[in-house]
Chain A
Amino acid sequence: MSAVQEALPAVRGSRDAIVRRFALTDAIFHGMTRAAAILVLVLLGGVAISLFAGSWQALSTFGFSFLTSESWNPVTEKFGALAPIYGTIVTSAIAILIAVPLGIGIAIFLTELCPRPLRRPIGMAVELLAGIPSIIYGIWGLFVLAPFLQTTIQPFIISVFHGIPGLNSLFAGPPYGIGLLTSSLILAIMVLPFITSITKDVFDTVPPVLKESAYGIGCTTWEVTRRVVIPYTRIGIMGGVMLGLGRALGETMAVTFVIGNAHRISTSLFAPATTISATIANEFTEAVGDLYTSSLVALGLILFVITFLILAIARYMLMRIDARTGA
């Protein structure tokens, strides 16, 4: 009895010490995790600041004309971003036009038509393909797709549209194989897995009751998809498309192989062109002079701003559909 009473203060003392130590170590761990979370914000802020600082020289030299000038002349040091911006937007837009109907079609196939045992393997294959590095698509585009287009498809299209006004300038020029259209095709196949897997995921969020009631009044599969599933998931699909667009805009290696790196704006889809990322990848290490390097960083800044906006919109849309399914 007395022994316990004697021991108590000692126990209480060590207990206080332990609680204090726990509080301290917990505060340290809390601080570490918080610092790491803030570092993620600092990273993106750092990217924006460093790009802005690096491009300052070019932006202050050329001003607004950097965005509107087509010239890109390292000898006279006159730089304008219009041709790369044009190439980036045209290739991404065509890629999205090809990939979206295909992606939605595959998603419908996977959710409505595919025999059940095949669904998981095919769905998984699509997701695995989203992880294949872009340089693989680039090397395939350069050695397989471009020669194929050059020898078969392009001469055929050129001869067919030769006499039709409008279309003949869209498909004009010698068939190089590489160029805007080839890059668009490669980009389309690259973003296809992204669009497919997101569309499939949002299709799965449609409550079965909605679909069943439509089937119950005698709707066909297409009518259910068109009138129930797609309207219900419209925001999610748009989010997936924007996410794919963000990837297509910033995609570097696959495009660099097959775009041809020509700084001019051509109406023909068969002409070599360039994109922002391909220009940076091709020229950055060889750029001589501060103004040249700074202009390339300024291109990076433009790309950063465009993709940031697109991705922010995409995330906002996907967050909205998440909020709805969570509610």
Chain B
Amino acid sequence: MSTASSLHTRRKTRNSVMMTLCVVAAGIGLAWLALILGALVYKGAAGLSFDVFTQMTPPPGDAGGLLNAIYGSVVMTVIAVIVGTPIGVLAGTYMAEYGRFSKLTTVVRFINDILLSAPSIIIGLFVYELMVRPMGHFSAIAGAVALAILVIPVVVRTTEDMLNLVPNALREAGTAIGAPRWVVIKSVAYRAALSGIVTGILLSIARISGETAPLLFTALNNQFWSSNLNAPMASLPVTIFQFALSPYEEWQQLAWTGALIITLTVLALSIVARSLTGRREDK
């Protein structure tokens, strides 16, 4: 009897110890992340002002803003999305519709998943070899292509997943009234999966808006206002990288503010994306 009850106590104790450790783990993890976000808001908000959005990046030791960097980021992101989204949506369409059970789809899915988590600096090197070296100079368009290559796997993945969720009865209904396959895809499947596909695009924007590594040696950076796509262009992440590692206090402050702007953008995009699919699940 006493051995049984001591075994019981031992098991109970071990359970409490392990469960406490799990709570501690959750506490450490969440506190650590809260610490990072707290520091970001505290340091970033200090430099947040109207000037940040209206002034150019300053020379060392001067006041200024991040206008040209923000502009560059927006331009390159827009081009990347315009280039990457159609390719991603089409590839996802093939995998979920025409070639759902083909061998090609299995291979593409595997390779796409690897591209999805491949180091982005490798993509930067690839675009350097592909565009910068032949052209002989860094350019915004090379940066946009590097970002587009990061957009594609995200969009492929979500498009395929969302089209796979569309019930086959809908497609059969479309086919039964004589619509050809592509009309069924365009007017039935795309429409049913629209919010999911938009989510994928938003997530891909969230992903590339903070990417630094692929821009370092494609778009490089630019201290001045430039809207020439064939020339180096500033971007928010690369500017943050350069300013944060500088010894000048004004630059470091701008780096923190830029970091806050990027984080808020990314979080807002992710939340909007999630609420789109969330509503879908409720239906």
> Which residue numbers of A lie inside 8 Å of B, CB to CB?
22-23, 25-26, 29-30, 32-41, 43-44, 46-47, 50-51, 53-54, 101-106, 108-110, 112-114, 122, 124-126, 128-129, 131-140, 142-144, 189, 192-193, 196, 220-223, 225-226, 243, 246-247, 249-253, 256-257, 277, 280-281, 284-285, 297, 300, 303-304, 307-308, 311-312, 315
Can you give 25 contacting A-B residue pairs, CB < 8 Å? A29-B185, A36-B90, A36-B94, A39-B91, A40-B111, A40-B112, A40-B115, A44-B111, A46-B126, A51-B129, A54-B125, A105-B24, A109-B23, A113-B22, A113-B23, A122-B30, A128-B267, A129-B33, A131-B266, A133-B262, A142-B245, A250-B118, A250-B119, A251-B119, A252-B119
Contact of B256 among A113, A124, A139 (CB under 8 A): A139
Using an 8 Å CB-CB cutoff, how does the interface string of B100-140 with A read, 1 for contact, 0 for none? Answer: 00001101101111110111111101101110000000000
> Which residue numbers of B lie inside 8 Å of A, CB to CB?
11-12, 14-15, 18-19, 21-26, 28-30, 32-33, 35-36, 39-40, 43, 86-88, 90-91, 93-95, 97-99, 104-105, 107-108, 110-115, 117-123, 125-126, 128-130, 149, 152-153, 156, 180-183, 185, 203, 206-207, 209-213, 216-217, 220, 237, 240-241, 244-245, 252, 255-256, 259, 262-263, 266-267, 270-271, 274
Q: Is the CB of B240 within 8 A of A139?
A: yes
Q: Is the CB of B98 within 8 A of A30?
A: yes
State in angstroms the CA–CA spacing of A151 and B220 once bound together: 35
Q: Is the CB of B252 within 8 A of A143?
A: yes
State in angstroms the CA–CA spacing of A218 and B81 once bound together: 55
Q: Is the CB of A300 within 8 A of B252?
A: no
Q: Is the CB of A315 within 8 A of B114?
A: yes
Closest to B260 in A: A136
State in angstroms the CA–CA spacing of A297 and B185 once bound together: 42
Give every chain A residue within 8 A of B86 (Cβ-Cβ).
36
Which among A36, A140, A247 has the highest number of chain B CB atoms within 10 Å?
Answer: A36
Q: Is the CB of B28 within 8 A of A102?
A: yes
Give every chain A residue within 8 A of B14 (Cβ-Cβ).
220, 222
State in angstroms the CA–CA spacing of A140 and B123 once bound together: 25
Q: Is the CB of A132 within 8 A of B266?
A: yes
State in angstroms the CA–CA spacing of A101 and B130 once bound together: 41
Chain B binding surface, main DSSP class:
helix
Q: Is the CB of A222 within 8 A of B19?
A: yes
**Nearest Cβ distance between residue A152 and chain B, in whole angstroms?**
15
**Nearest Cβ distance between residue A268 and chain B, in whole angstroms?**
23
Q: Is the CB of A196 within 8 A of B122?
A: no
Task: Answer whether A311 and B113 are a contact pair too, CB < 8 Å, given A33-B97, A252-B119, A253-B212.
Answer: yes
Give every chain B residue within 8 A of A253 (Cβ-Cβ).
212-213, 237, 241
Give every chain A residue within 8 A of B203 (Cβ-Cβ).
131
Closest to A277 in B: B121
Beyond contacts A23-B180, A37-B91, A51-B129: 11 other A-B pairs, Cβ-Cβ < 8 A, are: A36-B86, A36-B90, A40-B91, A40-B108, A114-B26, A132-B266, A136-B36, A220-B12, A256-B241, A281-B121, A311-B114
Task: Answer whether A189 and B36 are a contact pair too, CB < 8 Å, given A223-B11, A252-B121.
Answer: yes
Give every chain A residue within 8 A of B180 (Cβ-Cβ).
22-23, 25-26
Q: Is the CB of B123 within 8 A of A223?
A: no
Task: Answer whether A221 and B119 are a contact pair too, CB < 8 Å, given A23-B180, A54-B125.
Answer: no
Q: Is the CB of A246 within 8 A of B22?
A: no
State in angstroms the CA–CA spacing of A309 and B264 once bound together: 34
Q: Is the CB of A243 within 8 A of B117?
A: yes
Closest to A19 in B: B180
State in angstroms the CA–CA spacing of A164 and B192 once bound together: 66
* 10 closest Cβ pairs, A-B complex: A133-B210, A250-B119, A105-B25, A36-B90, A33-B94, A220-B15, A29-B182, A36-B91, A22-B180, A252-B213
State in angstroms the CA–CA spacing of A105 and B185 once bound together: 44
Q: Is the CB of B30 within 8 A of A41?
A: no
State in angstroms the CA–CA spacing of A199 and B3 once bound together: 37
Give every chain B residue within 8 A of A105 (Cβ-Cβ).
21-22, 24-26
State in angstroms the CA–CA spacing of A112 and B22 once bound together: 10
Task: Answer whether A285 and B220 are a contact pair too, CB < 8 Å, given A44-B114, A131-B266, A135-B210.
Answer: yes
Give every chain B residue within 8 A of A54 (Cβ-Cβ).
125, 129
Closest to B36 in A: A140
Q: Is the CB of A222 within 8 A of B18?
A: yes
State in angstroms the CA–CA spacing of A189 and B207 once bound together: 18
**Nearest Cβ distance between residue A256 and chain B, in whole angstroms?**
8
State in angstroms the CA–CA spacing of A56 and B259 once bound together: 38
State in angstroms the CA–CA spacing of A225 and B15 once bound together: 10
